[in-house]
Structure 1
Amino acid sequence: MFKKNSPLQSKSEIILRNIVVTFMIVFFSVFLIIPIFIAFAGSFHEWNPLSGTYNFLGFENYKNVLSSELFLKSLWNTFIFATIAIVFRIILGLGIAYAIYCPLIKWKSFFRVIFYMPVVTPIVAVAFVWKFMYNPQIGVINDIFGLDINWLLNPDTALIAVVIMTIWKDFGYAVVMFMAGLYSLPADALEAAVVDGASPWQKFYYITLPLLKPMTLFVVITSIISYIQAYVQILIMTEGGPGTQTYLTSYIIYEEAFVKYNFGYASAIAFIVFVITAGLTLISFRVSSTQK
């Protein structure tokens, strides 16, 4: 704990700091660390809290998960979902942020608020609204584009429809992050590029974009973590259907744990997903470090 090593620190200040630090340690231990260890232990058991079942199975849950066609399909669906959402999140976020950053654009704060509003809107509300918009009878999307598609019940369009909704909701996060990165760029480097006769595209490609690599990496990593855990929009809009076309790994965890109460199997999936997420994050760091 903190000790008094400066006459400017009062005894009450040290006591307050120790109380805060102790509270944080207890809080994270009770609500994060201990549940993780319980779930990890439970992944090796047949675990049903409702019936009181807790039978040791060894690695049986992990073997069943890795041999499950549904899990492997959900991994592929998650890969498609996350890749498309991340790519468009970065492209739209960076493009709009750079447009707002332009000196010719006024009311910058207004545009930041407008684009960030969907991000802070509850995902449940957004999913229900988009589900209504996708409705083939009364939805506005078919009316606007003159289409006749049952978006959420068509195996060819269901996952893409969910991805489009997710991109719309989340790209404002990237807008705000990239704007923060743009305003932190060294002005002397940009001014030197202008003096040297660089065109706007050259200034963006050779100066702005490389300097934004740390922020881009941050957006990519947070997006990977977020989209691998996505399941609420699937639960509300498609419930994994039609068939298993929109099953994501996190949705299987939800279904196994809170519908079937098979907590051991769900915990095994959760830790496999954790390893995959950690691996993708490490790869992102390595790729970024090799490009410096």
Structure 2
Amino acid sequence: MHNTTLQRIFSMRNIAVVALVGYFAVFMAYPIIKAFAGSMHNWNPLTDTYQWVGFENYAQVLTDSLFWKSIWNTAVYSFFSVAFRVIVGLALALLLTSKLVKAKSALRGLFYMPTITPLVAVSFVWMWMYDPQFGMIDKVTGLDIGWLNDSHWAMPAVIIMTIWKDFGYATVLYMAGIMSLPTDVYEAASLDGAGKWQTFWKITLPLLRPTTLLIVITSLITYLQAYIQILVMTGGGPGTDTYTISYLIYDQAFTKYNFGVASAMSVILFVLTGVLTLLMFKASGDKLEESR
């Protein structure tokens, strides 16, 4: 009886391992391999073209000024979106875990609601809010800005929408992190006469570093792939001022049907994301070693 039970457990474990390997092979390994293979071909499914060109697609991408402009736009968009997601999320988490605020559960749900709202719906709502004729933002603020049609304001407008939609994710994670912090450390700091700001900078912030790293990495990966809000709100415009790398990939693949060029851009984006993630892990690890 005991042997039969063990056999069943090992059998179920083997099935789970096979299913997991199959999942990664089909949904992760195959698309990466297919994208890399496609990047080495002149690939157009409309004309049934799939011709070997070697590294010509990469040469075309790396000498394209629009590609480098989209890289810069992506860097600006990602930096400010991640930074304010962390700042706003941490500030609200500290507020909601303090004794100053009541109805914390209701506020927590209210703040998290934009995060689970479909991005397409949120993008359309904000696009209407930015409308210069009947948009709420200009009417409330008394401004007269063609937000999404102005080359100076289009990207900031998209960033503001992104921050509003995504700060709830950081807030919830920071609240979980704050509530799990050891109380004895704060008691010792209080006995030593540490003020609130000293406690925050010297204790709370360092102890929340793993949570911050998680938020930064997951946010960065998400924002490097951002294109839906760009597609809905600006269409890459005005001109090409809000082109991000992911939107450029979408444009090359599904508007111009240059799947080979789009695949080359995807491979570059994949490598860039991996390198940035590894650098952040290394930097965080070095800081943890220094603090010990």
TM-score (norm 1): 0.95
SS at match of 1:291: helix
Alignment of 1:84-233 (within 5 A): 84-233=80-229
Deviation (angstroms), 1:223: 1.1
Query: Paired residue for 1:19?
Result: 15
**Take 1:16 and 1:88, find their aligned partners in 2: how far apart are those partners?**
45
Deviation (angstroms), 1:116: 0.8
Query: Paired residue for 2:75?
Result: 79
**Take 1:111 and 1:7, find their aligned partners in 2: how far apart are those partners?**
53
Q: Confirm whether residue 272 of structure 1 aligns to residue 274 of structure 2.
A: no
Deviation (angstroms), 1:7: 5.6
Q: Which amino acid aligns with 2:8?
A: S
Q: Which amino acid aligns with 1:177?
A: L
SS at match of 1:47: strand
Deviation (angstroms), 1:135: 0.4
Offset from partner CA, 1:168-225 (integer Å, 9 cap, x none)? 0011111011111111111111111112221111111111011011111111111110
- Unaligned segments of structure 1, at least 5 residues: 1-5
Q: Which amino acid aligns with 1:164?
A: I
Deviation (angstroms), 1:55: 0.6
**Take 1:222 and 1:137, find their aligned partners in 2: how far apart are those partners?**
37
**Take 2:257 and 2:39, find their aligned partners in 1: how far apart are those partners?**
13
**Take 1:62 and 1:98, find their aligned partners in 2: how far apart are those partners?**
46
Deviation (angstroms), 1:128: 0.2
Q: Which amino acid aligns with 1:228?
A: L
Deviation (angstroms), 1:163: 0.5
**Take 2:101 and 2:188, find their aligned partners in 1: how far apart are those partners?**
23
Is the helix fraction higher in 1 or 2? 2
Q: Which amino acid aligns with 1:13?
A: I
* Displaced runs of 4 or more, over 4 A: 6-9
Q: Which amino acid aligns with 2:228?
A: V
**Take 1:92 and 1:189, find their aligned partners in 2: how far apart are those partners?**
25
SS at match of 2:201: helix
- Percent identity, please: 54
Counting matched residue pairs gives 287
Query: Paired residue for 1:3?
Result: none
TM-score (norm 2): 0.95
- The RMSD of aligned alpha carbons is 1.4
Stretch of structure 1 that moved more, 239-248 or 47-56: 47-56
Query: Paired residue for 1:62?
Result: 58
- Unaligned segments of structure 2, at least 5 residues: none
Q: Which amino acid aligns with 1:258?
A: F
Deviation (angstroms), 1:8: 9.2
